[in-house]
Amino acid sequence: MSGQTPMGLAAAAAAAVRPCRRRLLSSASVAASKAAPGTATPLFPRLPHPHHPPCGRRLPFLVSAASQSQTGPDAPPAHVPVPGSTSDPRAAVSGNLPFFDRVLFPDSFPLETPPAKEHEDAAAQADEVVEPAPPVREESETEREAWRLLRRAVVSYCGEPVGTVAAEDPECTETLNYDQVFIRDFVPSALAFLMRGETEIVRNFLLHTLQLQSWEKTVDCYSPGQGLMPASFKIRTVPLDENNEGFEEVLDPDFGEAAIGRVAPVDSGLWWIILLRAYCKITGDSALLERVDVQTGIQLILSLCLSDGFDMFPTLLVTDGSCMIDRRMGIHGHPLEIQALFYSALRCSREMLVVNDGSKNLIRAINNRLSALSFHIREYYWVDMKKINEIYRYKTEEYSHDATNKFNIYPEQIPSWLVDWIPEEGGYLIGNLQPAHMDFRFFSLGNLWAIASSLTTPKQAEGILSLIEEKWDDLVANMPLKICYPAMEDDEWRIITGSDPKNTPWSYHNGGSWPTLLWQFTLACIKMGRPELARRAIAVAEERLSDDKWPEYYDTRSGRFIGKQSRSYQTWTIAGFLTSKMLLENPELASILTCDEDLELLEGCACCLSKKRTRCSRRAAKSHAG
Ligand code: GLC
Distance 264 CA to ligand 1 centre (A): 13
Question: DSSP assignment of 394-438, as one string?
Answer: ------STT-SSTT---GGGS-HHHHHHS-SS-EEE-SEEETTEE
Sign of torsion over alpha carbons 514, 517, 518, 524: negative
Mean pLDDT of the chain: 80
Distance 254 CA to ligand 1 centre (A): 13
CB atoms under 10 Å from CB of 6, counted, come to 21
Distance 177 CA to ligand 1 centre (A): 9
H/E element, 439: strand 437-439
Pick from 29, 591, 595: which is nearest to 297 by CA? 29
Distance 25 CA to ligand 1 centre (A): 29
H helix count then E strand count, the chain: 25, 13
Distance 183 CA to ligand 1 centre (A): 10
**pLDDT for the residue numbered 122:** 37
Distance 496 CA to ligand 1 centre (A): 19
Can you tell me the mean pLDDT for 560-576? 97
**pLDDT for the residue numbered 552:** 98
Q: What is the pLDDT of residues 235-255, one digit of tens each?
A: 999 998 888 888 899 999 998
pLDDT band at 226 (very low <50, low <70, confident <90, very high): confident
Q: What is the pLDDT of residues 126-151, one digit of tens each?
A: 334 343 444 567 899 999 999 999 99
H/E element, 292: helix 292-306
pLDDT band at 20 (very low <50, low <70, confident <90, very high): low
Sign of torsion over alpha carbons 33, 212, 203, 318: positive
CB atoms under 10 Å from CB of 182, counted, come to 26
With a cut of 50, say whether residue 466 has pLDDT above it: yes
**Would you say 244 and 260 are in contact if contact means Cβ atoms under 8 Å apart?**
no
With a cut of 70, say whether residue 119 has pLDDT above it: no
Distance 536 CA to ligand 1 centre (A): 26
SS (H, E, C) 220-289: CCECCCCCCCCCEEEEEEEECCCCCCCEEEEEEEECCCCCHHHCCCHHHHHHHHHHHHHHHHHHCCHHHH
Q: Among 179, 184, 322, 574, say which to mutate for ligand 1: greatest number of ligand atoms within 8 Å of CB.
A: 184
With a cut of 70, say whether residue 400 has pLDDT above it: yes
292-306 and 266-283 are packed helices; what angle lies between their axes, rounded to 10 degrees? 140
Atom of ligand 1 nearest to the CA of 184: 10
Can you tell me the mean pLDDT for 560-575? 97
Distance 323 CA to ligand 1 centre (A): 9
**pLDDT for the residue numbered 503:** 97
pLDDT band at 76 (very low <50, low <70, confident <90, very high): very low
DSSP conformational letter for 124: H
Distance 136 CA to ligand 1 centre (A): 35
Atom of ligand 1 nearest to the CA of 167: 12
Atom of ligand 1 nearest to the CA of 509: 8
Stretch among 59-73, 204-218, 314-328 having the lowest mean pLDDT: 59-73
Q: What is the pLDDT of residues 453-462, one digit of tens each?
A: 999 999 999 9
Question: DSSP assignment of 14-80, as one string?
Answer: GGGPPPPP-TT--HHHHHHHTS-GGGSPP-----SS----SSS---TTS--HHHHHS-STTSPPTTP
Can you tell me the mean pLDDT for 318-344? 96
Residue 65, φ and ψ in degrees, nearest 5? -60, -35
pLDDT band at 388 (very low <50, low <70, confident <90, very high): very high
**Would you say 42 and 79 are in contact if contact means Cβ atoms under 8 Å apart?**
yes
Can you tell me the mean pLDDT for 412-439? 96
Kindly report the protein residue whose alpha carbon is nearest to atom 3 of ligand 1. 324
**pLDDT for the residue numbered 177:** 85
For residue 116, give every residue at least 6 positions away whose Cβ sits within 8 Å of its Cβ, in sequence order, or none.
Answer: none
Atom of ligand 1 nearest to the CA of 572: 12
Can you tell me the mean pLDDT for 373-383? 97
**pLDDT for the residue numbered 136:** 63
With a cut of 60, say whether residue 299 has pLDDT above it: yes
Question: Pocket around ligand 1: residues whose beta carbon is below 6 Å from it?
Answer: 166, 182, 184-185, 324, 326
Atom of ligand 1 nearest to the CA of 232: 10
Please compute Rg for the chain using Cα positions.
25
Distance 349 CA to ligand 1 centre (A): 25
Q: Coil, strand, or helix at residue 461? A: helix
Atom of ligand 1 nearest to the CA of 570: 12
Which residue has better confidence, 553 or 87?
Answer: 553
Can you tell me the mean pLDDT for 417-440? 96
Q: Among 324, 331, 338, say which to mutate for ligand 1: greatest number of ligand atoms within 8 Å of CB.
A: 324
Question: DSSP assignment of 591-602, as one string?
Answer: GGT-----HHHH
**pLDDT for the residue numbered 234:** 94
Cross-strand bridge partners of residue 555: 561
* Most confident residue range from 29-38, 115-124, 251-260, 359-368: 359-368
Distance 481 CA to ligand 1 centre (A): 15
Q: Coil, strand, or helix at residue 317? A: coil
**Would you say 205 and 230 are in contact if contact means Cβ atoms under 8 Å apart?**
no
Kindly report the protein residue whose alpha carbon is nearest to atom 6 of ligand 1. 166
With a cut of 90, say whether residue 18 has pLDDT above it: no
Distance 326 CA to ligand 1 centre (A): 7
The Cα–Cα gap between 277 and 593 comes to 8
**pLDDT for the residue numbered 283:** 97
Q: Among 174, 179, 185, say which to mutate for ligand 1: greatest number of ligand atoms within 8 Å of CB.
A: 185
Atom of ligand 1 nearest to the CA of 178: 6
Q: What is the pLDDT of residues 184-219, one digit of tens each?
A: 999 999 999 999 999 999 999 999 999 998 667 677
Atom of ligand 1 nearest to the CA of 508: 8
Kindly report the protein residue whose alpha carbon is nearest to atom 2 of ligand 1. 324
The β-bridge relationship of strands 232-239 and 247-254 is antiparallel
